[in-house]
């Protein structure tokens, strides 16, 4: 059984102007997502600026989210690291916090061979009893999980159950699904490719777009699963310009700006992320207006 089906939000980490995590606002964002049909919360991923959170902040954000959501929908914690021991530590702490699953990115910067990826994921999976979704985003990590590697891990390790596919390579993702023969759940890691990946058997999306358009992102998936392929297609096409604007600078710079433009007051980014260029901010505003996010 899949950890979740549909649209999971890769939620931002709201901050005060002094850079501290704003837990009161995080609670508001969690309610906003749940009230607008989001199917799962993914806390402390790339969009949550996990790479600039201290370990203490990282664990507290996970704990707060699990406690606040109270099993209304699944909570999946990002616990990946380029250090295997750190990934194990964060994964164990997330399990103690009561989350439903883990999202574990491939080691970044130091990378790994395919043999190293197998050893890394086996070690993390062995340390916990939670289901694990591997996160393959070579554009950010410089490390790619080959289809054969992903499938071997899913077949050999009981609690490795899924992959967040953010390669942008439909041929690779199709090969993964073909080799998996149903043993591995796939989630789109690209908001512009939700419907194409659903068409080859993906269970849903782990989404940046959901931060500002949760109902529409949910509906892309829900309509597809209900057999309304045309309705799903129309929503996917409608979202493309907004998706492009949300990634015109490195994530999560645009999405945090977008939430602030909507009055959600999620605060600043942590360096080395910096405010948007004016031209890109104007592009984002135009795309949000075109999508219908402004009255």
Rounded to 5 degrees, what are φ and ψ at 3?
Answer: -55, -40
Q: What would the two tokens of residue 120 be?
A: 């890394």
Q: Render pLDDT for 246-265 as a digit per residue (tens, 0 to 9).
A: 999 999 999 999 999 999 99
**Which residues have C-beta within 8 Å of that of residue 109, sequence separation ≥ 6?**
82, 141, 142
Report the predicted TM-score, pTM, of the whole model to 2 decimal places: 0.97
- Reduced to 3 states (helix: H, G, I; strand: E, B; else coil), residue 86 is helix
Q: How far apart are CA 197 and CA 188, in angstroms?
A: 6
Residue of 25, 164, 223, 256 marked active site? 164
164 catalytically annotated: yes
State the maximum Cα–Cα separation within the chain, in Å, rounded to a whole number: 52
* Residue ranges in the chain modelled with pLDDT below 50: none
DSSP letters, 33-80, are HHHTT--EEEESSTTTTGGGS-HHHHHHHHHHHHHHHTTSS-EEEE--
DSSP letters, 97-144, are HT-SEEEEEPP-SS---HHHHHHHHHHHHHT-SS-EEEEE-HHHHS--
Q: Render pLDDT for 110-163 as a digit per residue (tens, 0 to 9).
A: 989 999 999 999 999 999 999 999 999 999 999 999 999 999 999 999 999 999
**What is the structure's pLDDT at 294?**
81
The CATH homologous superfamily of the domain defined by 6-291: Aldolase class I (3.20.20.70)
Residue of 135, 203, 223, 256 marked active site? 135
- Comparing CA positions, the residue from 257, 244, 251 lying closest to residue 47 is 251
């Amino acid at each position: 059984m899949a950890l979740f089906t549909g649209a999971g939000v890769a939620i931002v980490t709201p901050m005060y102007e002094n850079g501290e995590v704003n837990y009161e606002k995080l609670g508001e964002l969690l309610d906003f997502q749940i009230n607008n049909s989001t199917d799962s919360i993914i806390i402390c991923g790339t969009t949550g600026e996990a790479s600039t959170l201290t370990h203490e902040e990282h664990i507290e954000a996970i704990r707060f989210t699990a406690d606040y959501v109270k099993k209304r929908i699944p909570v999946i914690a990002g616990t990946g690291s380029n250090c295997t021991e750190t990934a194990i530590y964060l994964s164990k702490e997330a399990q103690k916090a009561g989350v439903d699953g883990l999202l574990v990115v491939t080691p970044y910067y130091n990378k790994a061979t395919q043999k190293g990826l197998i050893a890394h994921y086996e070690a993390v999976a062995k340390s916990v009893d939670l289901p694990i979704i591997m996160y393959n985003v070579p554009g950010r990590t410089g490390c790619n999980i080959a289809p054969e590697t992903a499938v071997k891990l899913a077949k050999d390790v009981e609690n490795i159950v899924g992959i967040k596919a953010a390669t942008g390579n439909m041929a690779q993702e199709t090969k993964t699904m073909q080799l998996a023969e149903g043993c591995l759940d796939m989630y789109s890691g690209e908001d512009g490719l939700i419907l194409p990946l659903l068409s080859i058997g993906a269970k849903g999306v782990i989404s940046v777009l959901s931060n500002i358009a949760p109902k529409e992102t949910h509906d892309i998936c829900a309509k597809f699963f209900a057999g309304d392929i045309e309705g799903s297609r129309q929503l996917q096409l409608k979202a493309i310009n907004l998706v492009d604007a949300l990634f015109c600078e490195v994530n999560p710079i645009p999405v945090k700006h977008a939430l602030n433009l909507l009055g959600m007051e999620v605060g600043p980014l942590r360096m080395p992320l910096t405010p948007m260029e004016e031209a890109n901010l104007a592009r984002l505003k135009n795309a949000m207006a075109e999508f219908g996010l402004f009255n």
